[in-house]
Amino acid sequence: MVSYILWLSDAVVPLFLLLILVVAWRRRVRVYEVFLAGAKEGFELGVRLIPYLVGMLAAIGVFRASGLLDLILSPLQGPLAALGMPGELLPLALTRPLSGSASFALMADALQSYGPDSFLGLAASTMQGATDTTFYILTVYFGSVGIKRMRYALLAGLAADVAGIGMAVLLARLLWG
């Protein structure tokens, strides 16, 4: 099971790429031209990310280097360990539903600090991909049509976040723990 999941990880991207290119070829899409048109946005996207990343990486750096992160986490260490959640990743888990760019920066910070192929780096990457920014989506979508009472949508979204992040930690432990 574990080795199958790992094989699948290596194969999904090439297979997905193959599927896209074969369908595009059968439908006579002018692949290279279309590719270039889309790829042009890549540079802009990277540059647009800079202020978000600088803001968050500086903030998390201050928060951690001052020792405040450890101070807050130490009483939580016991209950978190019982749940299997690594304390280092708690800020990421809590930020994920609030802001995609902030949690992305926290993940990037984990990749830098612990190494992308360490348990913490792999777990952080999986957590970041495991769910979407619930608060942002609800605000934008409901805001666009003027809904004021969102009823149980937030609860359902947060339940999904907890499940996604919990599952990410569980799978990370299973595969790399």
Nearest distance from C-beta of residue 159 to other proteins, angstroms: 4
Q: 88, 93, 104, 120: which one contacts other proteins (CB under 8 A)?
A: 104
With both helix axes pointing from N to C terminus, report the angle between 119-130 and 153-176 in degrees, rounded to the nearest 10: 150
Q: Report in angstroms the alpha-carbon separations of 60 from 53, 67, 176.
A: 10, 11, 26
For the chain, state the CA radius of gyration.
19
Span of 73-81, 82-90, 163-171 interacting with other proteins by CB under 8 A? 163-171
Residue window 109-148: x/- pattern of binding to other proteins, with contact defined by CB under 8 A = --xx--xxx---xx--xx-xxxxxxxx-xx-xxx-xxxxx
Binds other proteins by CB under 8 A, chosen from 55, 79, 84, 177: 55
- DSSP category for residue 119: H
Q: Does 98 sit near other proteins (CB under 8 A)?
A: yes
The dihedral region occupied by 60, where left means phi > 0, alpha psi between -120 and 50, and beta the remainder, is: alpha
According to the binding rule CB under 8 A, does residue 76 interact with other proteins? no
Tokens of 71: 């101070």
Q: Residue 56 and residue 38: Cα distance in Å, rounded?
A: 28
Asked whether position 75 contacts other proteins by CB under 8 A, the answer is no
Least separation, in Å, of the C-beta of 57 and other proteins?
Answer: 4
86 binds other proteins (CB under 8 A): no
Establish if 1 lies at the interface with other proteins (CB under 8 A): no
